[in-house]
Structure 1
Amino acid sequence: MDKYIYISSPGDSSIKVLKFFKKNITIVQEIYTEGQAQPISLSKKYKLMYVGIRPNYNITTYKILNNGKIKKLSTFSLPVPLNYISINKENNLLACSSYHGSLLIIIKLNENGIPITILNIFKNINGCHCSKFYDLNHSIITTALKSDSIYIFNSINNKKNFKKLQFIVKKKSGPRHFTFHPNKNFIFSINELDSTIDVWKIKNDKISINNIQNIKLLPKEHNNSICNWAADIHISSCGKYLYASERNNSIITLFEINQNNFKIFFKKHYSVETQPRAFFIDKKENLLSVVGEKSNFITIYKISKNNGDLLPIIRSYAGENPVWVIMN
C-alpha cells in the first residue's frame, strides 16, 4: 500500500511530499511556501492539510489529492506564530498553540473544513506548546512550557460554566508535547528542559489528571542539565510501546507500558537522525518516521510487533532543517 509522507522544512521554506512503497522512497512533490512552514495537521474526513506559516503568521490549507500531492486552497491570518495544530473528532475546530504568543487559539472550520473565524483565544498560557482536544469530556488539554504547567479547559466557548484547571509539574522541567494512550484514560507528557516523561491518570468525572510517574529518558551518563533537550513523544497502535526523542544526543528512547498500572519502564535507546525534533507513527502499518533538523534526512523504521524494536527500512533527503513529519 502506498504511504505518503509530508515534511515541513523551514530552512528552504518548503513542504516535501514523499511516496513510500515497497521499502522505497520517491519525492513526488515539493511546494515552496510563502514563509517558513512548521506544524502540520491533517483532516482525514475532508482530505485537508493545515500548515502553520511564519513570519507572515497564518494557517495555509491544502487539499490532499488522490495521488498524494497537495494543492493550496486558502490562507487564514493569525496574530502570532504557531507551534502545534490539532483537530477535534468532529473535524469542525482547530486548537492552535503559540509558544511565543503564550496563547491557545480555537478556530472554527466551515462545512468543507476550511478555517473561517477565531472562536476563542485563551491568554496567559506561558509558553503554550501543544494543545489537543480530549473527546471523552469535550475539554482541551494544553502544555505551558515556561510555567511548568498543564492546563485543562472544560469548555471552548461557554463563558458561564468555564473553568481553567492548572496542574503543576516538576520545577524547570518544561512540559512540551503529550500523547493519549489508545484507551483514553492516560496521558504521557514529555518535558523538554529535564528530558523526563510524566504519566497522568485522567479523571473524567472531575475533568482532572493525577500524576503517577516521572521517569528520565536519557542514559544515566547524560542525565545533566547541559544535555537535556527533549522534543517529541508517541505511542504505538497496540498501546504497549512508547517512544520519546531527545535532540542534543539524537536518540529515541523506547519504553514499554505496563498494561496493569500504565507506568512505563525503559527498554532501549536508538541513535537516530541528528536533532530529532519530530517523528510520527503510522498506526496502520506500524511505521515510525523521524526527521533530523540538522541532518536534513528522514529515516523510516518498522516497529516490531513482538517487542517494539525499531527496525530501519530506508533513509532519504528531507529538505533543509525539517521540523515536522506526518504520514497518510
Structure 2
Amino acid sequence: MDKYIYISSPGDNSIKILKFFKKNITVVQEMYTKGQAQPISLSKKYKLIYVGIRPNYNITTYKILNNGKIEEISTFALPVPLNYIDINKENNLLVCSSYHGSLLIIVKLNENGIPITILNTFKNVNGCHCSKFYHLKNSIIATALKSDSIYIFNSINNKKHFERLQFLVEKKSGPRHLAFHPNKSFIFSINELNGTINVWKITNNKFGINNVQKINLLPKEYNNSICYWAADIHISPCGKYLYASERNNSIITLFEINQNNFKIFFKKRYFVEKQPRTFFIDKEKNLLSVVGEKSNFITIYKISKDNGELFPIIRSYAGENPVWVIMN
C-alpha cells in the first residue's frame, strides 16, 4: 500500500509530496505556496489538507487527488499566523492555535470540508502553541507556552457561555504540544523550555486534569550538558510507547508507558535529523517520519511492535527548512 507524505517547507515556500512504497521514496509533486507553509492538518473524510500560510495569514485548503498530488481549492483569511491546526471527529470544525496572536480560533467547515466562517475566538491564551479537540466532552485542550498553562475550553460552540479552565505547570517550563493516550483518559504534554514531559489524568466527575508525573526528556547522566529546546510528542498506536523530540541536540527519546498507572519511563534516545521540530506516526503502517528543519531531510523509521524501538528505513530530501510532516 502506498503512503503519501506531505511536508511543509517554508524555506522555499513549498509543500513537498513524496510517495513511500516498498522501502523507497519517490517525488510526486512540489506545490509552491503563496507564502510560507507551516502547520498541516488532514481530513481523511473529505481527502483534504489544511495548511497555515504566512505572512498573508490564511488557511489554504488543498484537495488530495487519487495519485497523491494536491490542488488548491480555497483560501480562508485569518487575523493571525497559525502554529497548529486540528480537525474534529465530525470533520466540520477546525481549531487553530496562534502563538504570536495568543489566540485560539474555531473555524466552521461547510458540507464539503471547506472553511467558511470563524465560529469562535478565545483570546489571551498566552503563547497558544497547540490545541486539540477532546471528542468525548465536546471540548478543546490547549497549551499556553508563555503563561505555563494548559487550558480546557468547554461548550465550545457557545460564544457567550463557555467554560475556561486553567491548569498551571512549573514556571518557565513552556508547555508546547499535546498527545492523547488511545484510551482517552490520559494526556501527555511536552515542555519546550525545561525539557520535561507532564502526564495528566483526565477527571470525569468534574471535567479537568490532574498531574500525575513530571519527567525529564533524558536521564540525569545526560542533563548536565543539555540546553533544552523541546518540540513535539506522539504516542504509538498500541498506546505502549511515547516519543518526544528535542531540537538543540536533534534527538527523539523513547519512553515506555506503564499500562497500569500510565506513568512513563525512559528507554532510549535516538539522534535524528538536525532540529526535529515535528514528526508524525502513521497508525496503519507503524511508521515514524521526522523532518529536520536544519538538515532539510526526512527519515522514515519502522516502529518495533515488540519494544517500540526505531529502525531507520530510508532518508530523502524534504525541501528548505521543513517544519511539518504528515502521512496519508
Pairwise TM-score range, normalised by the shorter structure: over 0.9
Q: How far apart, in 2, do the equivalents of 1:131 and 1:30 lie?
A: 28
Match of 1:179 in 2: 179
Match of 2:272 in 1: 272
Q: How far apart, in 2, do the equivalents of 1:61 and 1:185 lie?
A: 32
CA deviation after TM superposition for structure 1 residue 219, in Å: 4.6
Q: How far apart, in 2, do the equivalents of 1:224 and 1:127 lie?
A: 28
Match of 1:87 in 2: 87
CA deviation after TM superposition for structure 1 residue 156, in Å: 1.2
CA deviation after TM superposition for structure 1 residue 204, in Å: 2.6
Aligned length: 328
Correspondence 1:224-235 to 2 at 5 A: 227-235=227-235
Structure 1: which amino acid aligns with 2:59?
I
Q: How far apart, in 1, do the equivalents of 2:165 and 2:224 lie?
A: 31
Match of 1:193 in 2: 193
Change (3 A) 1:192 1:225: farther
CA deviation after TM superposition for structure 1 residue 157, in Å: 2.9
Give me the identity figure in percent. 85
1:260-297, Cα deviation, whole Å (9 max, x unpaired) = 00000000000000000010000110000000000000
1:150-199, Cα deviation, whole Å (9 max, x unpaired) = 00001113245421000000110000000000000000000000010000
Match of 2:33 in 1: 33
Q: TM-score, normalised by structure 1?
A: 0.98
Structure 1: which amino acid aligns with 2:91?
N
Q: Is the 8 A contact 2:120 2:159 kept in 1?
A: no
Match of 1:75 in 2: 75
Q: Is the 8 A contact 1:137 1:204 kept in 2?
A: no
Q: TM-score, normalised by structure 2?
A: 0.98
Q: Is the 8 A contact 1:136 1:204 kept in 2?
A: no
Match of 1:13 in 2: 13
Correspondence 1:1-328 to 2 at 5 A: 1-159=1-159, 161-223=161-223, 227-328=227-328
Q: Is the 8 A contact 2:226 2:249 kept in 1?
A: no
Change (3 A) 1:318 1:219: farther
Deviates more, 1:240-249 or 1:149-158: 149-158
Q: Is the 8 A contact 2:83 2:130 kept in 1?
A: yes
SS at match of 2:11: helix
CA deviation after TM superposition for structure 1 residue 218, in Å: 2.7
Structure 2: which amino acid aligns with 1:8?
S
Change (3 A) 1:120 1:128: same
SS at match of 1:136: helix
Q: Is the 8 A contact 1:95 1:107 kept in 2?
A: yes
Query: Over aligned residues, Cα RMSD in angstroms?
Result: 1.1
1:126-162, Cα deviation, whole Å (9 max, x unpaired) = 0000000000011110000000000000111324542
